[in-house]
Amino acid sequence: MSRHELPLTPDYDAWPVDADLADVSFTPRLVTVRWSDGRVSRYHSIWLRENAADETTVNPATRERILDLSTLPAWPEIDAAEIDAAGALCVTFAPEDRRLRFHPGWLRAHDYDNATDPEAPLVPVTTWLGGADASPDTLDASGLLDTRPDSDDEEVILAPALESVLGKGLVRLRNLPTQPDSIEALARRIGPVRPTNFGQLFDVKAKPDPDSNAYTSIALPPHVDLPTREYHPGLQMLYCMENTVEGGQAVMMDGFAIAEALRDRHPDAWETLTRVRWCYANTARTTDYVWFEPMIRLDARGELLEVRIADFLRGPLQTAFEDVEPAYEALMILQQLLRDPAFSIRFTYHPGDVVIFDNRRLLHARDAFEGSTGHRWLQGCYMERDEVRSRYRMIQRTRRQRRLTANA
């Protein structure tokens, strides 16, 4: 039996075998394996039974689980365990008397016994400062939209772009075409676009009778978009179609870096802004979105999850009486940090430029511009963080598949 006869895995991914199974022992509820590089891994019998890849456990057409553990006649225990000629782990489960095989590469990749942080981000999160000489990670994307999706050429540009978004929250692509709606073609290289009350795509330009400050020529303070939503969009693209005005320089700031500075320098303000729920409201003529959330949110592990900073989209504060003054004191400390140029990247949009940024992390702003001097037209759209992570995982999967093919 050869490596080509290794069993399927309970997913569609490719799992290179970087170390072979060398030895196996078991108790009724535990399998212990030793790898060729000396690592020792333990797997519970019930975990193995639920994560098998046979047709009683997953639908072979979808690789989605169909097994209901509670329908088994008893807790799955191990009658036998061995390594077969292909290098797979073979386990016989009682009381089913069912022999199931497990792919060693998949087992190694999902070794929860030795995992240091199974929820670690795909790309390490790196906070950054701005300053006079700072600029966003920038890639030449000329020809990107002419390539076939999932092609090698696309991956050369898309992979590092997604790494910048995942790690730093921001990337700038240059030299893209300026045909209307090119932004949608670019967005769909990553995933679906999220429509909002501003449409599938939206045009950022000064217009009569605006329904947002963005659609004027006035300056915009640092903000995230749509904090008025229960789940505000995780990703935003702004695509420059035309820019011949005086002024209107773009500003980008790392909201996580600002939050960390607040924690270090003003711990009382940090505590307040992670606790007090502010009102965010967008009460337009035809829509009425309202949501309550702290300005700084942490995830279950205590890591920064999102910031909700947008002064022009805050409704009246409605919180405990004794929290009102501390909340405003903390807000003004934060506002002072937002004016510190050390946090800001400033740049001018050129036609064919697009910035892709994490809208739950990055703050963006704009200087006022003089509309009579020319035209400033950006197209925008929203997506979700999930789409970036999914697309990046697919790129990694493709790389692993190529590696397996090359080693076959």
DSSP string, 312-339: GGB----S-GGGHHHHHHHHHHHHHHHT
> Are 200 and 194 a contacting pair, CB within 8 Å?
no
Q: What is the pLDDT of residues 283-305, one digit of tens each?
A: 888 899 999 999 999 999 999 99
Domains present along the chain, CATH in parentheses:
3-118 (3.30.2020.30), 138-393 (3.60.130.10)
Q: What is the pLDDT of residues 105-131, one digit of tens each?
A: 999 999 999 988 888 899 999 999 999
Query: How crowded is the C-beta side of 13, counted as CA atoms within 13 Å?
Result: 19
Q: What pLDDT, on a 0 to 100 scale, did the predictor assign at position 408?
A: 65
What's the pTM?
0.91
Q: Determine the Cα–Cα distance for residues 317 and 310; give it in Å rounded to an integer.
A: 13
CA angle 98-104-109, nearest 5°? Answer: 115
What number of other Cβ atoms are within 10 A of residue 48's Cβ? 20
**Residue whose C-alpha is closest to residue 191's, from 162, 232, 167:** 162
Reduced to 3 DSSP states, what percent helix, strand and coil does the chain have, rounded to the nearest 5? Answer: 30, 30, 45
Average pLDDT in the chain: 93
What phi and psi, each to the nearest 5 degrees, are found at residue 371? -65, -25
What residue type is assigned to position 254 of the chain? D
What residue type is assigned to position 156 of the chain? V
> Are 204 and 217 a contacting pair, CB within 8 Å?
no
Return the residue matching tokens 């039974």. 49
The edge-to-edge listing of strands for the beta sheet with 235-243 is 138-140, 170-174, 354-358, 235-243, 376-383, 202-204
Q: What pLDDT, on a 0 to 100 scale, did the predictor assign at position 216?
A: 77
**Percent of residues, the chain, with pLDDT higher than 70:** 98
